[in-house]
Amino acid sequence: MNTKEPIIRMENIVKVFPNVVANDGINFEIYPNEVHALLGENGAGKTTLMNILYGLYKPDSGNIYIYGKKVNIKNPLYAQKFGIGMVHQHFSLIPYFNVLENISIGLNELKINLNLEKVKKKLEEIMKKYGLLVDPEKRIEEMSVGEMQRVEILKLLFRGANVLILDEPTSALTPQEVDELFRSIRDLVKEGKSVVIITHKLYEVFQISDRITVLRKGKVTYKGLTSETTQEALVEAMIGKSVSFNDFSREQIKVEGSLRVEGLTLYGKGNVPIIKDVTFELKRGEILGIAAVAGNGEKELIDIIFGLIKQNSGKIILDGKEIQNKPVKNRIEMGLSFIPAERLTRGVAAGLALYYNSILHDHWSEPYIKHSIINEQEMRNFARKIIKSFEVVAKSEEVLAKQLSGGNLQKFIVGREMLRSSKYILAVNPTSGLDVSATQMVRQALVNMRNSGVGILLSSEDLDELVSVSDRIIVMYKGQIVGSFERHEFDKIKIGALMLGKNA
Amino acid sequence: MILGLLVSSAFFILFRLSPFIGLATLLYEGFGTVYGWYNTLRMTIPLLIIAVGLSVPFTAKFWNIGAQGQFILGEIFATWIGLLLSKCVPPLADIIIAMFFAFIGGAIWAIPPTVMKLYSGANEIITTLMMNFVAVYLLLWLVSGPMQGAQARLVGAPSSAPIPAQDMLPLIPGTQISTGFLIGLALAIIFYWILKYTEFGYELKLIGEGEQVASYSGINIKRQIFLSMIISGGISGIAGMVYVYGITSTLIPQFFSDISTSFGYVGIPVALMSSLNPIGIIFASIFLGGILNGAFVMEAIYSIPIDVVITIYGLIMIFSIIGIMFDLPKLIKRWKR
Ligand SMILES: Nc1ncnc2c1ncn2[C@@H]1O[C@H](COP(=O)(O)OP(=O)(O)O)[C@@H](O)[C@H]1O
Ligand SMILES: [Mg+2]
């Protein structure tokens, strides 16, 4: 199939993190004059693979060849010398410096000696050549995301990059900015560069790429030219075909009450809708899964239901009472619990002891507080109970929350929210960062809660998880519900396609 | 703090005084004699009360730098109501009413910056500081105008009429220590308990840990911050009342007008170096009160400029702020890397 020789070849790359094999024997090639899309769901290992190529991580095993010669990329400086440049999801620009200053930083280490005048001249040449225009004197803090991205790309070109890696470059751009970016990418390729674009958006792949590699759970599941593939094949490669129902025993019980959301709408900056007219009902004794690619309004939806964000319009009805204007505390008292995605900043007070953190949602109620006075012993007892039942590895309940590892902290938060009495639990990625056995334990606990009559609204990036525990799944895309499935209709490929904005 | 003391030794050397003798004198004059102790406690009382008040919003990491202004407003309100009522009510009632009004005065002064922060995000450090400047000039204007005492007006001194002697806070029997000290101790113990064992204290700690976790925990952040500032301002006001009713007996412009020796400002490092623990504040305020007192004596004996002592304050302040803002061990770890 390949007539050209690759510039860069990554061979059998393995990278293991404490809880996960992020790259599991990956082969990846970059060819001259091409846009290569690296496609995969969140957590598939895309960023890790490219960080290895850029010298940020050392692979546990595997080799990298440039023009057929084996190289050892010790750090990004080496990568830059080999002509590799990478723009991360989070930019590395200094906000109060202007473009020229940002571009000049670190040139010395690359042994490029230039004064600002010369930098400016060279920069202007580059800008003209690739149609990447910015005002060299403008400060970063005054720029839009699209402009900052251009500066990042210019910075790499200035350093002589020949292969540009862009990690999810469109995630924070407006549609117009995306068009502009894609135009620049085409110009770059025309001028002889190669571009790797990391993404989880299917339609972008067809818009811009020449070649595709799909990763799934650290492995390559598809490889080929864009012109020779179909959307269906890519969806299957991304999320897998086998619908493995990991069956938990479910009991049907009848409990009165439901959490209903009616016509919920939220506008973001510039009146762009983040959530648009969302309506659904969660019954007690049911797990309702929300399937969405991160950034489609699913996070805001849950924050609104808990009362952390105020909706622009719509109703939230809990057991027949409207709560959309009630403060968080009232909603908790009426039976809500919440396992948030942001563990360290939201899920716990990082600098306080675990026993202090055990009663975040009960810190006004007995037995922990009576007549506004704390009963420390009761707090400690509850913290010990969480630690014991959810196998949290912690020396004692006096350990500070921030001293726990990510997985243990997550177990603590999940345990706290499940062991307190509630009628409905909102859960966002409850098993993220947990190892296999802890994941299984948490899923089992979710189903047990359901069986005992608790209603669970589960938002998860892991489609397998949603499919294995949910009774129903709704799919969100660009702030709207675009699909709804009963358990017997679950079809990961259909759901996956809807998540990506495609009508299956 | 130890670093601060080391650096201060260097300053003594600069003034041709052995650092050992220097520090020893400082401490001796502060703590070595009964008389020294009396004077030290005079300095301690306002520091203690102010710092206890500050520990409340500081727990929520709301930085009230305005204790000085709140202190002054407390002085003004207490003196005004005291002079108004002195002939009509018995002394004890007068003291209680004055204390109440002082609380109101200090609290009122704390409200504008708090509201500005909560509703428009204006930095409280700057706004509380500005309120201090306004208070200083308000006081100057009052004691050279509407509130100037008849006696003072004759000699052109900026001062109010004196609080009648029978209305002053009594001394602790057998000593020359004002009962204001007991008020300070009581406040310290009460707030130690409030911060440690009540729902209010718990919520302030969570707010101090970050807005996100606090709102997730169902806390009404604005309300609690507001309350903490009312308390803090009010207690600083009480400090002002205790100062007038225990020491000066008249309303006079602050004797020390620079930042480092005004009680409202020194109260900040007192609160911080005790890690916001009101019991610790008792000891810290005695310690700094002693240094302050020793400094005045030293200035008289060896003509060491009081600025040297101010420098020591500054150093202690800096190191204790660093200590609380960062976890020292973490800082060291990061530095080693
Ligand atoms: N520095 C790290 N330490 C531990 N785990 C990590 C680290 N970086 C990534 N991971 C984990 O490796 C997996 C792959 O992550 P990543 O490469 O960022 O995926 P993607 O970019 O495809 O979304 C994820 O499960 C992630 O949690
Ligand atoms: Mg990534």
What are the structural domains, with CATH classification, of chain B? Answer: 2-336 (1.10.3470)
Predicted confidence (pLDDT) per residue in A130-158, tens digit = 888 899 998 887 887 788 899 999 999 99
From the DSSP assignment, how many helices (H) and strands (E) are in chain A? 16, 22
The CATH code of the domain at A8-239 is 3.40.50.300
Check if A323 has its Cβ closer than 6 Å to any atom of ligand 1.
Answer: no
The verdict on the CB of residue A47 being under 6 Å from ligand 1 is yes
Contact A353, A400 (CB under 8 A): yes
> Which residue from A minimizes the CA distance to B212?
A346
What integer pLDDT is reported at residue B320 of this predicted model?
A: 52
| pLDDT above 60 for B61 | yes
**A435 vs A70, residue with greater confidence:** A70
Report angle CA B71, B77, B83 to the nearest 5 degrees.
Answer: 130
- Å from CA of A200 to ligand 2 middle: 9
Q: Which of A228-232, B131-135, B237-241, B294-298 has the highest mean pLDDT?
A: B237-241
Can you read off the two tokens belonging to residue B163? 């609080």
B220·A327 Cβ contact <8 A: yes
Residue with tokens 């109101």: B104
Interatomic CA distance for residues A79 and A52, integer angstroms: 10
Tokens 């070595």 map to which residue?
B32
Asked whether the beta carbons of residue B219 and residue A372 sit closer than 8 angstroms, the reply is: no
Helix, strand, coil shares of chain A as percentages rounded to 5? Answer: 35, 25, 40
The CA distance from B240 to A279, in Å, is 58
Q: Is the pLDDT of residue B317 over 80?
A: no
C-alpha span between A372 and A364 (Å, rounded):
7
pLDDT, one tens digit per residue, over B160-214 is 888 888 888 999 888 888 999 999 999 999 999 999 999 999 999 999 999 999 9
Q: How crowded is residue A230: how many other Cβ atoms within 10 Å of its Cβ?
A: 9
pTM of full prediction above 0.90: no
Nearest to A360 among B196, B199, B217 (CB): B217
Give the chain B residue whose CA is nearest to the CA of A362.
B217
In chain B, % helix, strand, coil (3-state, to 5) comes to 80, 0, 20
pLDDT at residue B255 is higher than 70: no
String of DSSP letters for B22-48: HHHHHHIIIIISHHHHHHHHHHHHHHH
Residue A395 to chain B, least CA–CA distance (Å): 20
Q: Angle at Cα A375 formed by Cα B281 and Cα B63, nearest 5°? A: 35
Going by pLDDT thresholds of 50, 70 and 90, the confidence category of residue A1 is very low
Q: Residue B125: which residues within 8 A CB-CB, separation 6 or more? A: B63, B65
From the list B197, B200, B205, which residue is nearest A352 (CB)?
Answer: B205
Out of A20, A60, A165, give the residue to mutate to test ligand 1, the one with the largest number of ligand atoms within 8 Å of its CB: A20
- CB of residue A17 inside a 6 A radius of ligand 1: yes
The domains spanning A8-239 and A258-335+422-499 adopt the same CATH topology: yes
Burial of A503 (0-12, 13-18, 19+ CB in 10 A): exposed
**Residue A218 C-alpha to ligand 1 middle, in angstroms?**
10
Backbone angles phi, psi at A261, to 5 degrees: -120, 130
| Chain A residues inside the 8 Å CB shell of B209 | 349-352
Residue A340 in this model has a pLDDT that exceeds 70? yes
Q: Cβ distance A424 to A318 under 8 Å?
A: yes
Quick one: which ligand is closest to A88's CA? 2
Q: Under an 8 A CB cutoff, do B210 and A349 touch?
A: yes
Interchain proximity A328–B203, CB inside 8 Å: no
pLDDT digits (tens, 9 = 90+) for A88-99: 887 888 878 889
**What is the pLDDT at residue A242?**
47
A170 closest CA partner among A159, A161, A179 = A179
Measured CA to CA, the distance from residue B135 to residue B147 in angstroms comes to 15
Give the closest ligand to the alpha carbon of residue A42. 1
The ranges assigned to domains in chain A are 8-239, 258-335+422-499
- Give domain A258-335+422-499's CATH architecture: 3-Layer(aba) Sandwich (3.40)
Contact in structure between A100 and A120 (CB atoms under 8 Å): yes
Ligand 1 contacts CB of residue A407 (under 6 A): no
